[in-house]
A and B are shown apart, each in its own frame.
Chain A
Amino acid sequence: MARIELKNVRKQWTGATAVERIDLAIDDGAFIAVLGPSGCGKTTTLLMLAGIYSPSAGEIAFDGARVNDVEARDRNVGIVFQSYALYPNMSVLDNIMFPLRFKKIERAEGEARAREIAALVRIDALLDRRPSQLSGGQQQRVALARALVKRPHLLLLDEPLSNLDASLRLTMRTEIRRIQRELGVTTILVTHDQIEATTMADRIVVMNGGRIEQEGTAKDLYERPETLFVASFVGSPPINLLDGHVAGGEIKVREATLKVSGSAAGPIVLGIRPESLLVNASGMPAKIVAAEPMGREVLYSAEGALGLVRFIEPGAEARHREGQNISLAFHPEATLLFDKASGRRLDARIAS
């Protein structure tokens, strides 16, 4: 277990920059998620931590010691790949014991450790099988066991759940979290799925274009997104982002004019979460364009004074028909204002 630090880390390929600049500190035993769209540099960062790639600039430190030049094989990092990367020519037991072959460990002791870890991830009945004889979920567990058997300083999970079906994903989410707590191993999860990130990790790092956009808890990211990117990436269904213009303490969005409290001027973007909009007689006129029942709630799209917005209402059945005229209001304290040019959040909101 270790405290991990990345200082000004940068990775450049010939002709392209994968990671612009990463500054991050991860506490010993913490579980953090790196969340971002594909191509944002999250897997590159992961492979730099594992020692497969070496950073072009900056420093990676384990427990305060620089490890930039330490080879992958000496870093004692466990990694679970999206494809699981099991060795097809070996049995499950040999797969799990593979990392121990390179350490000075007696075979008997190694096997005992492998069996112990196999019991922890609940695959002790499958040890004689070949990877090709296992289901996706089982392969996933083998990969996890193999990463954990060497008692790693750091556990890296690269999109570990994306190859599983929906119900298995739910189970493995809980399982990985349980195992991580039990072992207390510092863990970094890389994912593009916000549900995975928010349910499993203590803290989330949102990455975009090779940079960290924001770091915080799921609540921070959802309620106080620092940038437009974070606001739009976190939350499902996505936040409504409406272009507007602030002048003289007033904001104009399409046909609506609203009062602003706080400092803001010029072109801005107004963000309203779908659950913050509600049908209320005191609101602005709008017309339902689409009603999509999603099980527990209904997602509506409405065209009105604010433009096209999405909002949700609890309930299994749609209460408003398509084409129906309604009146939409919102909670002013739940609105977010962003500077259009820089994309940063402004310290201002709609006044009630």
Chain B
Amino acid sequence: MSSHALPTAAAPRLRLDWPKLARRARLKRVTGRSALLAFLLIVSLPILLPYFWMVVISFTARSGGVSTQVLWTACAVIAPAVLIYSVVHIATPSRGLRLATALSLLVIAAVLLAGLVGRQLHLANYRFLWNPNIVEELRSKATAGGQFPSVWIAFRNSLALAISQTAIILVVASLAGYYISRFAFRGREAFLQGMLVLHAFPAMTLIIPIFLILHWIGLLDTIAGVMLVLATIELPFYVFVMKGFFDAVPWDIEMSAMTDGATRRQAFRMVVLPQVRVGLIAVGVFAFIRAWEEYIFVRTMLIENTNWVMSLYLFWVSDDIMGVDYGIVAAVSVFYVLPSLLLYVFCQRYLTQMTIGGIRG
């Protein structure tokens, strides 16, 4: 009978070893974060190392072969610094201590690098910025047909292409996105689906017809022609993105503006557009970078060397002097990558919000 009774001494078994559990949780947290950090460091290595190498080559390489000595020396300094900082970061939650570690490591690394490789740094590879005749100088004759153009002509062309494309896309995508988001019209569904299909369609397959069309209308080998082609191909995606942003703006705000005396256009400009500012910035940055990095279409449709854009300039430089002078190729690459990198750094706060959309109240 008594065996069926509940054990009266059950209470003490509930007493738990709280300090031990806390220790275990702390340990789990630290190992988890260490593993994550190690993983991220390892997977970022194949991405970061080539860029780093490119920068190193551009500042150190001299005519002739390429040496990896500076790269490995620099890595030998930077890798331990990163590891030490990671350990400190995991070990302490104190912001002050982390900052102090980061700063002192930076100073030590800078001093070490200056001492070890400082004397090998030089700017000679960047001479293409003021001397357009690098190729002739190196090989006595360029394959790109006569005189190599100044890099600034290519830079100007790239800038013109990227800025005009950004402007076209911003204007068209915001107006079209707004219209699709707000108005019911016949064929709206079909239009939306059509845009998705257009985006899924590989634009490369159109390259021959586009080439011929541009030839017939006389826009072949002009920046304006490439700009129109790129904008057309890119637009469906950006219209879609902007529609998403406009969908997130409540109707009430617009109705309110209209009862307050605004016309539909004024309501759009004064009330709705400021709500999608993040979307406009994101679309603008992506459109710019996309045009800046464009290669295939410009390679096909721009011929004269005065119409080269940066990607073509880089291509011809590497085509002509690869194997002779890696330093200049690397320096041109750094110069090419810089504008989009700067843009990305300044706007990344907005870009990360692109998929989320929406407005803050």
Contacts and interface: CB of A to CB of B under 8 A. Distances in A.
Contacts of A74: 261
B166 interface: no
Interface string B235-251: 00000000000000010
A87 B253 contact: yes
B74 interface: no
Contact of A47 (B253, B255, B261, B271): B255
B352 interface: no
Interface in A97-118: 98-99, 101-103
A98 B308 CA distance: 50
B260 A50 contact: no
A51 B361 contact: no
B109 interface: no
A99 B262 CA distance: 8
A50 B258 CA distance: 9
B63 interface: no
A81 B361 contact: no
Contacts of A98: 257, 260, 270
Given A52-B258, A73-B263, A79-B259, A85 B359 contact: no
Given A85-B250, A87-B271, A132-B361, A52 B261 contact: no
Nearest to B250: A83
Contacts of B261: 73-74, 99, 101-103, 150
B359 A72 contact: no
B202 to A, nearest CB: 39
B238 to A, nearest CB: 22
Nearest to A73: B261
A51 B261 CA distance: 11
Interface string B267-297: 0001100110100000000000000000000
A132 B258 contact: no
Given A83-B252, A88-B275, A52 B259 contact: yes
B275 A81 contact: no
A210 B266 CA distance: 33
A85 B257 CA distance: 9
A85 B262 contact: no
Contacts of A82: 252
A82 to B, nearest CB: 8
Contacts of B266: 102
Interface in B226-241: none
B15 interface: no
B104 interface: no
Contacts of B270: 87, 98
B24 interface: no
A51 B260 contact: no
Contacts of A132: 360-361
A102 B252 contact: no
Contact of A85 (B256, B263, B274, B277): B256
Given A73-B263, A83-B250, A88 B258 contact: no
A52 B257 CA distance: 11
A131 interface: yes
Nearest to B256: A85
Nearest to B266: A102
Interface residues of B, number: 21
A59 to B, nearest CB: 20
A200 B149 CA distance: 79
B275 A51 contact: no
A132 B360 CA distance: 8
Interface string A128-150: 00011000000000000010001
A81 B255 CA distance: 9
Contacts of A103: 261
A288 B286 CA distance: 70
Query: Taking each of A79, A131, A146, which has the highest tally of chain B beta carbons within 10 Å of its own beta carbon?
Result: A79
Nearest to B273: A89
A89 B259 contact: no
A50 B255 contact: yes
Contacts of A84: 252
A252 interface: no
B258 A72 contact: yes
A77 interface: yes
Given A47-B255, A79-B255, A88 B360 contact: yes
A68 to B, nearest CB: 16
Nearest to B255: A52
A50 B256 CA distance: 10
Contacts of A21: none
A81 B252 contact: yes
Contacts of B263: 73
B250 A73 contact: no
Nearest to A134: B361
A73 B263 CA distance: 7
A75 interface: yes
Contacts of B252: 81-85
B361 A85 contact: no
B262 A89 contact: no
A83 B249 CA distance: 12
Contacts of B258: 51-52, 72-73
A78 interface: yes
Contacts of A73: 258-263
A146 B360 CA distance: 20
Contacts of A131: 361
Nearest to A52: B255
Given A83-B250, A89-B274, A75 B259 contact: yes
Contacts of A102: 260-262, 266
Interface string B96-126: 0000000000000000000000000000000
Given A81-B256, A88-B360, A89-B274, 5 more contacts: A52-B258, A78-B259, A83-B250, A89-B271, A131-B361
13 contacts: A47-B255, A52-B255, A73-B258, A73-B259, A79-B255, A81-B255, A87-B253, A87-B257, A89-B275, A98-B260, A102-B262, A102-B266, A146-B260
The 3 closest A-B pairs by CB, nearest first: A102-B261, A85-B252, A89-B274
